[in-house]
Amino acid sequence: MHSKLLEQYGVHTKVAGSDYNFRYQMAGNKVVEDMNRLLVELNLRPKDIYTGQQMHTSNVAYVDGTNGDPFVFGKTVKETDGLLTDKPDVALLIKYADCTPVILFDPVNKVLANIHSGWRGTTQRITTKAIEQMKEDYGTKPETLIAYIGPSIDQDHYEVGPEVYEAFSDFKDRDQFFIHSGEKYKLSMLDANIDSLLKAGVLPENMESERASTFTDPRLHSARGEGKDYQLNGLFAMMSNG
């Protein structure tokens, strides 16, 4: 899986699913083998590769090859769920199981962001914060942004409690992506993130969304499907030098 729309703008993308495992706490140094294999498949040699210590925050970090902490491959940034760069040779990798990965690209100013948006990050509007950072630092106009929303868990299999529903109380249209099911709710993370992007000014025609479910699609890992020993997918993004 990859974004055909972003590739038209020279952004390399790939959803590295069940053939990979980027959960370092479980896989250990095998994540290095998986990253090298991914780069071979994409025929890319980035100068630097960044991941984040993802903690379901709304933090977005700028990375350029000079900052970050050493990791078993590339570099990592503490307590960060969003990565942003203006360097074409810097690759960004978001790790996830059932949460929603989002890539944002400004084709005018050549700025790329890769974001991990779980339900907590979505309620904190992490994608909006990334867009605001791009606007402030680069003059990005939301209507020119290209967005890719990667595969996450489908609504039928993502049952949550009323506390999650209440956490979305600032979303005026939350009932468009929640289904009330007895004492529980079923949440469409994909549609919640689309709602955030639209509210931030991203145009529908500049969005590409992947509706494959991490829970039901064998090409993908799922925390709810695999249990406590779940593995992690990766969403890779890098701008070309062209």
Task: Tell me the residue range of the domain where 68 lies.
Answer: 4-152+203-239
Tens of pLDDT along 173-227?
999 999 998 899 999 999 999 999 999 999 999 999 999 999 999 999 999 999 9
Residue 177 lies in a domain: no
Residue 233 lies in a domain: yes
Distances (CA, A) of 126 to 44, 58, 65, 201, 205: 28, 5, 23, 14, 21
Tally of domains in the chain: 1
CA-to-CA distance for 230 and 225, rounded, in angstroms?
8
Residue 24 lies in a domain: yes
Tens of pLDDT along 92-104?
999 999 999 999 9
Q: Beta strand 111-117 with 146-149: parallel, antiparallel or unpaired?
A: unpaired
The whole-number mean pLDDT for each consecutive block of 10 residues of the chain, a chain of 242 residues, reads 94 96 89 95 96 94 95 95 96 96 98 97 96 97 98 96 96 94 94 96 97 96 94 96 70
- The answer for residues whose C-beta is within 8 angstroms of residue 130's C-beta and 6 or more apart is 60, 82, 84, 104, 113, 115
Residue 174 lies in a domain: no
Secondary structure of 185-223 in HEC code, one letter for each residue: EEECHHHHHHHHHHHCCCCHHHEEECCCECCCCCCCCCH
CA-to-CA distance for 120 and 159, rounded, in angstroms?
15
Cut 0.85: pTM above it? yes
Residue 8's domain is classified under what CATH number?
A: 3.60.140.10
